[in-house]
Amino acid sequence: MDLIETRLADDRELIYFYDKTAPEAGVPADRRVLPEVATATELRYDALRGEWVAIAAHRQGRTHLPSDDQCPLCPSTPQRRTEIPAPAYDVAVFENRFPSLALDVPEPPPGSEHRAGRGRCEVVCFTSDHDSSFGKLTPERARTVVDAWAHRTEALSQLPDVEHVYVFENRGIEIGVTLSHPHGQIYALPFVPPRVRRTLDVVRAHREATGGDLFADRLAAEVLAQVRVVARTRHWTAFVPIAARWPFEIHLYPNRRVADLVGLDDAERDDLARVYLDVLRMLDGVYGVPMPYIAAWHQAPVRGADRELAWLHLELFSSRRAPEKLKYLAGTESGMDVFINDIAPERAAEMLRAAGAGPEGTR
C-alpha cells in the first residue's frame, strides 16, 4: 500500500491510500474558500448509567441527503470542488468537517458539570465510484481499506486523550445515513464506549471465575455447533451469534486473538478482505435487495490492562426482517435494552448460507 498525506483548504488532514503506487505527479491542492466551522462539543456524564453523552449542537447544519450531483465525497471536477480535490482516488480518509469530537475543543470553565468533547472524527471513502458499495469492491481494494483502517487506528491511538478507536460503516437511509456515497467513519473516543466496557467486564469476570477466555470459548462453541457458521477460512470465522438481537446479525472473528486491526498480519488482512466481501454479498443476497446495515469493529482500548482481554471482532447487523419490512426498536428494546428477534439465529444463518451459494456468493 502507498499513500499521500495532504491538507484541505481549512487545514484538515486528508490521506489518499492507493491499491498499488501513488501517482508521481502527486495530488491537486484544495482551492476552495471554506467558511469556519466552530466545534464546541461537550461531554456530559450520566451518573445513573455510568456513561458519557456527547452534546454536539453545531452538527445540526451538516450536509443531509444531497443529490448525487452535489455529493461532497465524489472526486472534484473543474465545475465542482468537493472534499476530495483529486479527479479520482482509490481510498481517501479525511477529518470530518462537522465532527462530533475535535481536538481543539476548549475546556469548560472551572466547576462545570461537563468536560470538553476532545477526540477526532474521520471519514473513510472506499471508492470514488458514487454508485458502488463496499460489497462491490475488488479484494485488492478491500485490502487497501483494511490497511487504511489499521493505519488510522495506529495513528489515532497516539493522540492525547484518546482511549478507544472505533471503526464503523453505516449503510442505507433506513439506518440514518445522510450521504449515500460508499464510506465509513472512524471515531477516536476520549473514553471506552459502553458496549466495549460491558463486554470486557464480563470477559474479566469469566477469566477470574474459570481461568478461561470467554471470546475463545464462544468462538469454539460456534465452530463446534456449525449450525450458525456462515463462513470459515484459515484465518477468520463468520457466524450468527446464538443470541442475535437483529434479524440478520453476523460476527466476524479472527481465529487467533488479536487486540486491534493493527495487530493483523498480511495473511490475515488478505483473508479478511475476501471473507468480508463474501459476507456482505451474502447479506445483500438474502432478499435480493441492498440491505441496510451497521458494521462495527470492536477493538481493544488504546491503553490499560483491558487490552490483553480484548479480541478484535466485527459485529455486522441489519434492521431488514423481510423484503419490505424493517425492524424498529420497540419499547422493550429502546426503553430497557431487552431485544426480541423475529428471526431465529439458526434460520438467519441458513438464509445467509443459501444466499452465498449463488453466483454472487461463490468464490
pLDDT string in tens for the chain (363-residue length): 899 999 999 999 999 999 999 999 999 999 999 988 778 899 999 999 999 999 998 887 788 889 999 999 999 999 999 999 999 999 999 999 999 999 989 888 888 889 999 999 999 999 999 999 999 999 999 999 999 999 999 999 999 899 999 999 999 999 989 999 999 999 999 999 999 999 999 999 999 999 999 999 999 999 999 999 999 999 999 999 999 999 999 999 999 999 999 999 999 999 999 999 999 999 999 999 999 999 999 999 999 989 999 999 999 999 999 999 999 999 999 999 999 999 999 999 999 999 998 544 333
Instruction: Indicate whether this model's pTM tops 0.75.
Output: yes
Q: Which helix (H) or strand (E) holds 295?
A: strand 293-298
Which amino acid type is present at position 35?
Answer: P
Are residues 251 and 165 part of one domain?
no
- Structure confidence at residue 363 (pLDDT): 36
For residues 118 and 20, state if they share a domain: yes
Are residue 61 and residue 142 in the same domain, yes or no? Answer: yes
- In the block, residue with C-alpha cell 499521500: 4
Cα separation of 277 and 275, whole Å?
A: 5
Cβ atoms within 10 Å of 131's Cβ, excluding its own? 10
Here the CATH number for the domain that contains residue 308 is 3.30.428.10
Where a domain ends, among 163, 193, 223?
A: 193
Residues 115 and 218 in one domain: no
E strands present in 117-233: 120-125, 164-171, 183-189, 229-232
In a domain, 271, yes or no: yes
Q: In terms of domains, do 88 and 127 share one?
A: yes
Please give the full DSSP string across 145-168, using - where no structure is assigned. HHHHHHHHHHHHTTSTT--EEEEE
Residue 361 within a domain: no
Same domain, 35 and 104: yes
42, 91: one domain: yes
Residue 4, φ and ψ in degrees, nearest 5 = -130, 130
Query: What is the spatial distance between Cα 170 and Cα 186, in angstroms, rounded to a whole number?
Result: 11
pLDDT at 359: 42
User: Do residues 109 and 202 both lie within one domain?
Assistant: no
Secondary structure class of 185 (helix, strand, coil): strand
Residue 110: its pLDDT value, please? 86
Number of domains within the chain = 2
C-alpha cell at 225: 455447533
Q: Which DSSP helix (H) or strand (E) runs through 343? A: none
339-355 as b/e, with b when 16 or more CB fall inside 10 Å? Answer: eebebebeebbebbbeb
The verdict on 106 and 168 lying in the same domain is yes
pLDDT of residue 60: 79
Rounded CA-CA distance 218/220 in Å is: 5
φ, ψ for residue 296 (rounded to 5)? -120, 115
- The answer to whether residues 246 and 258 belong to one domain is yes
Structural domain includes residue 179:
yes
137 in a domain, yes or no? yes
CA 77-83-88 angle, to 5 degrees, is: 45
Give the Cβ contact number of residue 143 at 10 Å: 20
- Give the range of the structural domain holding residue 268, as residue numbers without chain letter: 195-356
- Establish whether 183 is a catalytic residue: yes
363 falls within a domain: no
Determine the longest span between alpha carbons in the chain, in angstroms.
64
**What is the edge-to-edge ordering of all strands in the sheet holding 313-318?**
2-7, 13-18, 91-95, 120-125, 183-189, 164-171, 293-298, 313-318, 248-254, 236-239, 229-232
Same domain, 8 and 157: yes
Point out the domain boundary residue: 193, 224, 244. Answer: 193
The helix (run of H) or strand (run of E) holding residue 94 is strand 91-95
Q: How far apart are CA 345 and CA 302, in angstroms?
A: 32
How far apart (Å, rounded) are the C-alpha atoms in residues 93 and 113?
34
Name the domain boundary from 175, 193, 211.
193
C-alpha cell, 215: 471470546
Beta partners for 304? none
Residue 89: name the closest of 41, 166, 18 by CA: 18
Contact (Cβ atoms closer than 8 angstroms) between residue 243 and residue 345: yes
Backbone angles phi, psi at 73, to 5 degrees: -100, -5
Q: Which of 64, 130, 181, 183 is catalytic?
A: 183
